Amino acid sequence: MAMLSVKDLQVYYGMIQAIKGLSFEVNEGEVVALIGANGAGKTTILHTVTGLIPSKEGKIEFQGKDITKAPGHKIVTYGMAHVPEGRRVFANLSVYENLKLGAYTRNDKKEIEDTLKMIYQRFPRLEERKNQMAGTLSGGEQQMLAMGRALMSQPKIILMDEPSMGLSPIFVEEIFKIIQDVAASGTTVLLVEQNAKKALSIANRAYVLETGKIVLEGDANVLMNDESVKKAYLGE
């Protein structure tokens, strides 16, 4: 059974249909990429799955549980975390305070401290800057903080929206390496990414979106070598 299953999803903004009967699934332990041009509906899908936008029709199941109508704050408690586009860290709080907010659904203080240690091991830079205001970090460091904050809830699946956006090439490399590490340590990843080449290089499977519909799906390596994908998304 798929960990996350989306069936016949339809989402509207007013009169405009943004998502048109879309279905996909993510299995446990996979990295699945959603790629497509700007305006294809990638972010809308993540917002609908995490309860930020209501769907008009369709069904979203997470670990066999119907979460189609569940509110966002509830979905977090089921084990789903969302790293939004543009990072959205709390600029006027310290790095440490941002991370602690990520664990608001958890009660065991010792477990939270253990997770924090693990985050600091994975992101040594966050530990170095733990007392610094999040707003003073570089873009790449804020992206690490947003990822660290999401991991503080110990999610079963993490949804990442454009993690490489606006980052220098060296940080892009680093962020993608971290995504691979997160997946290797047992967290399932659904990745929305403008940088199709990078996304396909670390994904197991991918879906190609065009104006709210899936036009191609399959093994990431196969899509990487697909002529139409190369032309449209890989700049070849």
Q: What's the rounded Cα separation, in Å, for the pair 66 and 56?
A: 15
Return the domain boundaries, the chain. Answer: 4-233
151-189: pLDDT as tens digits:
999 999 999 999 998 888 888 998 999 999 999 999 999
**Per-residue pLDDT, 38:** 83
CA distance 113 to 100: 9
Give DSSP secondary structure letters for 46-86: HHHHTTSS--SEEEEEETTEE-TT--HHHHHHTTEEEE-TT
pLDDT tens per residue across span 38-54: 888 999 999 999 999 99
Which tens digits make up the pLDDT trace of 3-17?
A: 999 999 999 998 999
pLDDT, position 105: 82
Q: Is the pLDDT of residue 230 over 90?
A: no
0.85 cut: is pTM over it? yes
Instruction: Give the architecture (CATH level 2) of 4-233.
Output: 3-Layer(aba) Sandwich (3.40)
Q: What angle do CA 81, 87, 89 make, to 5 degrees?
A: 90
